[in-house]
Chain A
Amino acid sequence: MQPLIATREATPVTAVKPSPKAPPKPPSRREAEKPRVDPAPSRAAYRMQRVMLTPAYRLTLRVLLPFVISMSVVAVYMSDADRRDAVVLGLQDLRNQIETRPEFMVKLMAIDGASTEVEADIREISQIDFPVSTFDLDLETLRTSILGLPAVADVGVRVKQLGVLEVTVTERQPALLWRSRNGVQVLDETGIVIGDLGSRTLRPDLPLIAGHGADRAVNEALELLRIAEPLQDRLRGLVRIGERRWDVVLDPDLRIMLPDDRPDLALERAIALHEAQDVLNRDVSALDLRLAARPTIRMNAGALDRWRQIKDMVVETGN
């Protein structure tokens, strides 16, 4: 195929004097026809394209082959135990580096709202060696273990900025002392034992209860103690009898025996009796209100003798 317009070199109009160095330019000449490039693909290219258009080959070359190659490279590299260890070690090292960055380190524990003993307990049971990374800190376990302390009602544990582990403790408030065979124990208002007390005199401000099973009736005891406010100066404590009813023990060896049913009403009644007839200042050893229909007074021996003398005298007089 010939091109439509032949390319020609422009004939120089002005004769240029040839420089001595450059060889003389050949006269203007038609360029030789360049053979046109055949657009046909070679047999190899044609076959290659057909192979590449085959779906199986395409899948193999694009997906399967890279996958197999990369997998085999990894497998060959990992087949050596030393290299495998090195890789695992490197990964662990990297992980460690990230974990021990100063941003993630906890340097100290701040405990709020706890008394000195409780704080010491918390520090003892948490057993954290500061500084420690936040990744190694199990806050939930720490919280459960702190909650296991008897003196702790509630606790919040969180990591604050600047590497502070903040432990916010709500302590149980001591409400009663419970004297039992194990000694004197401090109870909170729900009856849970907070701790032991060496002597009752250490906490003279707290009222005392005694008796087996008294810690399970703390609510009732507190209510009774509230009612017994007028007898505050004489009150020695409450005694749980038979795990079912209360005795109020007053100072000069006097008991008010309350029924197991509605002891508060009985106690109010006793106080009212006392205010009206000054019962409790008399020489009685017990005021028995267990039967509501029949309140009974147990007198002391001397009082009984006196009462008999008075009675006999009257009888004698009467004779």
Chain B
Amino acid sequence: MTMLYETQRAMRGMRKAAMQRGVVAVLDVGSSKIACLVLRIDQSGATYQGDGAGSLAGQVGFRVIGAATTRSRGVSFGEIDSMPEAERAIRTAVQAAQKMANIRVDHVIACFSGAQPRSYGLTGQVEIEDQAVSEQDISRVLAACDVPDYGHHREVLHAQPVNFALDHRSGLSDPRGQIGQVLSTDLHMLTVDATAVQNLAYCLKRCDLELAGIASSAYVTGISALVEDEQELGAACIDMGGGTTGISIFMKKHMISADTVRMGGDHVTGDISMALQIPTAHAERIKTFYGGVVATGRDDLERIELKSDTGDWNHDRRDVSVAELIGIMRPRVEEILEEVRHRLDAAGFDHLPSQQIVLTGGGSQIPGLDGLASRILGQRVRLGRPLRVHGLPQAATGPSFASSVGMCLFAARPQDEWWDFDLPVDRYPNKSLRRAVRWFKDNW
């Protein structure tokens, strides 16, 4: 646990340094594209402390000054599988974004979607020492959470206190200063494969970048695609990416569960490529041009010319109707949505008071997807687009940039995580001054 504290705190310190310098890059390492945004942080705007998002959804504090996207290489299922390729892709994106921003970026906040995230709900309970709840009590109650054995090859990505309860009052967001006896908390912990995080960190280190934070793609997509009342009342955000489909469930402005289906748009492309025996690039092209999930009579008439490069004239000069293409795409999309349904059920999404589902990500741009999704996932489905942020180029405002925009918001207004609170006194490394002061306080 102390290890976790140290690495995450080091990253948080790095993030603070980046905020001081005023420039930070966010990097979305996806399976189909790698996007890099360079943010200029304005410290004066970041002081908003009140409840809710505030004016401009709390994004007054920063401005996007550089944006670049490149085709992803060496990344599959949201994890780096070929280090040099991924490193070069990251270099391409970062260099182009730096060039646009005309400033050097040293700190980067990265997100990735894969590495099999797993959610854990943790509870902790502790007796309050004084009458009122102090910072130390919160530290103690967080430390009192019984951490499950999540495996030694896994690492904690997020650990956010989502709820505090004091005696019999639950649903407190900030119990400090309140009077009670027993303080208990609910903690949402997200673990991922340690190797994926290490690979990403190593890749960024090879690019001379300092990792100033790391986030789950499902989480940051939820931040940007869900509107405020959806986050408050309970909603699920489905981020249909290239290699994976991320699921994040929000309640009371906190993520309470996250999961990933290891299927995405690339699989649809692969299906088309296999079924029609055409190159992947061409399959991707006809998927984005003609793809859909609901066939109509009109689609039988429209023919798509298939181009392949085998040298066999008969093979290279085929065409298919759009209805056939839809017939190939639909089962895979249905399969993905069914899998999402299972994951939502497993997370207990149907017990939430509001069951809003927001589809976003590049895969959500398939025409007719909302109709299909509402039949599988429930009636309350909408297509989500990310928030608008200052200075974002028009080309980067689509749903496929939801996680990039979410990273911006995450960088500007991070949620309190476990490691943001002080360590409880009795866990301090050997004999610090505070411990001595505390001993005096207790005895006199």
Contacts and interface: CB of A to CB of B under 8 A. Distances in A.
Interface of A: 1-6, 30, 38-41, 43, 45-47, 49-50, 53-55
Contacts of B282: 4
16 contacts: A1-B281, A2-B279, A2-B281, A38-B88, A40-B89, A40-B92, A43-B91, A45-B95, A46-B91, A46-B94, A46-B95, A49-B98, A50-B98, A53-B104, A54-B104, A55-B104
Contacts of B98: 49-50, 53
Interface majority SS on A: helix, strand, loop or mixed?
loop
Contacts, number: 44
Interface string B306-319: 01010100000000
Given A2-B281, A5-B309, A46-B207, 7 more contacts: A1-B281, A4-B281, A30-B311, A40-B89, A46-B91, A49-B95, A53-B102
A309 to B, nearest CB: 129
| List of 4 A-B pairs having minimum Cβ-Cβ separation, nearest first | A40-B88, A53-B104, A6-B309, A40-B92
B383 to A, nearest CB: 30
A1 B281 CA distance: 7
A47 B70 CA distance: 19
B426 interface: no
B208 A47 contact: yes
A161 B70 CA distance: 75
A49 to B, nearest CB: 6
Nearest to A8: B311
B103 interface: yes
B103 A3 contact: no
B285 interface: yes
B99 interface: yes
Residue with the greatest number of chain A CB neighbours at <10 A, chosen from B104, B207, B208? B104
Interface residues of B, number: 21
A46 B279 CA distance: 32
A4 B208 contact: no
Contacts of A6: 309
B309 A41 contact: no
Contacts of A53: 98, 102-104
B170 to A, nearest CB: 50
Interface string B292-323: 00000000000000010101000000000000
Residue with the greatest number of chain B CB neighbours at <10 A, chosen from A38, A40, A41, A55? A40
Contacts of A2: 279, 281, 309
Contacts of A40: 88-89, 91-92
A269 B39 CA distance: 110
A203 to B, nearest CB: 92
Contacts of A55: 104
Nearest to A33: B309
A54 B307 CA distance: 47
A177 B168 CA distance: 131
A123 B281 CA distance: 101
Contacts of A39: 70, 92
A30 B207 CA distance: 39
A48 to B, nearest CB: 10
A47 B94 CA distance: 11
Given A2-B309, A53-B102, A53-B103, A41 B92 contact: yes
Contacts of B103: 53
